Homo-oligomer: A and B are copies of this chain.
Amino acid sequence: MVLRVSVGIIGAYSLKYESRSQLEAWDMIRESIKGVLNSVDKGIDPRDIELVIVSNFSDGYGNLLHSGPLAVDYLGNPSAKAFRVENACVSGSTALYIAYNFLKAGLARNALIVGFEKMSTQPSGSAANEILAKAAHPLEIVAGASFAGLYALIAKAYMDKYGLKEEDMALVAVKNHENAVRNPLAQFRRKITIEEVLSSQYVAWPLKLMDSSPLTDGAAALIVSAEPKMYTDTPAYIKGISMAHDKPGVFQREDMAMLRAIKEAADNAYRQAGVTARNINVFEVHDAFTIAEIVIYEMLGLAERGKGASLLKERTVWFDGSHPVNVSGGLKAKGHPIGATGVGMLAEVFWQVRGEAGERQVKDAEIGLVENHGGTGATVVVTILSR
């Protein structure tokens, strides 16, 4: 029953991810909206933007709720309809999922998506981790689990089953840090070595500090259109977008070394777009912890089960490989401001397929994929963008 409308991203903007103690959450929203409006090639009248979706995780970080009407005020179109969505770390792609469906169904012509998270309001210890833990299953929350601990369960299960080594996981961090050097928007623009990763402190064995994505302030914005050619000659069309869920608790899953919903969402998105993993030129994926990126390779069909790490050793997923993954630096080195994360990943692939990614541009990138997930993969959205 879906109409034949080509929905595309026509503008994108991102603040540099970093701890910016002097910048309030509302300023981040305002800056992002101003930036994304200015990014549209042929310009756009704010009055043509009828839907505004704000993506944000926790007011424990940002001290700001009911951000929808604030975004409407900053946008300058009092007739726009606005609300905030939250789906843990996949809030940003969820916002796109909703906007896409509204546009595809003819319920709006253009939509603004703004993602933000102001994490520097919390010290990076237990307070920050307690807020993040609220994205887990209730029984995990009351047991005092942290996300490092939950991904450690996944890593242990995977290591036992497939013989993965800590050195293999370290390669994800090394690769993504090397990529971040080329990205002026990234939080950590510094190369690291396998030895540095391996000698960093354990946060939850077998995961170390340098296997983990950092706390970051960040905001990013997109404008999505049902008439993209009106606003730019080079939109990034949404060729596929799919949401899937897994059981919220790691303990509820038959195979802890799997992130099942990623496969389900990816398979659906590939089907919608009429492509396979082979056809994708650039991938942004949810490397909240290094183990996640290895499992994601397999769920996306880039490697067989248990063989994910071989892509790192064979350099397939490095910047100069055939299927580069996280050329932005990924969550690990670009940063992971929860509510902004998915929006920023989509912005990166928008720039890549338009050939605007500067020093980190993947040559001849025509089609890109964003894999963004929440919790330990309880909610996944996979999006395929194409020139």
Contacts and interface: CB of A to CB of B under 8 A. Distances in A.
Interface of A: 1-3, 24-26, 57-60, 63-66, 68-70, 72-73, 78, 80-88, 94, 97-98, 101-102, 104-107, 131, 134-138, 141, 243, 245-248, 252, 374-375, 378-379
Given A65-B134, A66-B378, A374-B66, A243 B105 contact: no
A88 B64 contact: no
Given A64-B141, A68-B245, A73-B252, 18 more contacts: A1-B105, A2-B105, A2-B106, A57-B65, A58-B65, A59-B59, A59-B60, A59-B131, A63-B134, A63-B141, A66-B374, A69-B248, A81-B243, A83-B98, A84-B86, A85-B85, A86-B86, A98-B98
Contact of A247 (B1, B73, B243): B73
A6 to B, nearest CB: 15
Contact of A245 (B72, B86, B94): B72
11 contacts: A1-B105, A60-B60, A63-B134, A66-B378, A69-B247, A69-B248, A83-B85, A84-B87, A101-B107, A104-B105, A105-B106
B69 A245 contact: yes
Contacts of A105: 1-2, 101-102, 104-107
Contacts of A86: 65-66, 83-86
A25 B142 CA distance: 12
A106 B2 CA distance: 7
A205 to B, nearest CB: 25
Cβ-closest 6 pairs across A and B: A105-B105, A1-B106, A66-B88, A69-B378, A66-B135, A65-B134
Contacts of A87: 66, 68, 82-84
Given A1-B105, A98-B83, A105-B107, A138 B65 contact: no
A94 B24 CA distance: 26
Nearest to A68: B87
Nearest to A375: B66
Nearest to A106: B1
Contacts of A83: 85-87, 94, 97-98, 379
A70 B106 contact: no
Contacts of A80: 245
Nearest to A25: B138
Nearest to A72: B245
Contacts of A102: 101, 105
A70 B138 contact: yes
B243 A24 contact: no
Nearest to A58: B59
Contacts of A141: 63-64
A64 B138 contact: yes
Given A94-B83, A106-B1, A107-B101, A66 B138 contact: no
Contact of A248 (B63, B66, B247, B379): B66
A135 B78 CA distance: 18
A48 B97 CA distance: 20
Nearest to A247: B73
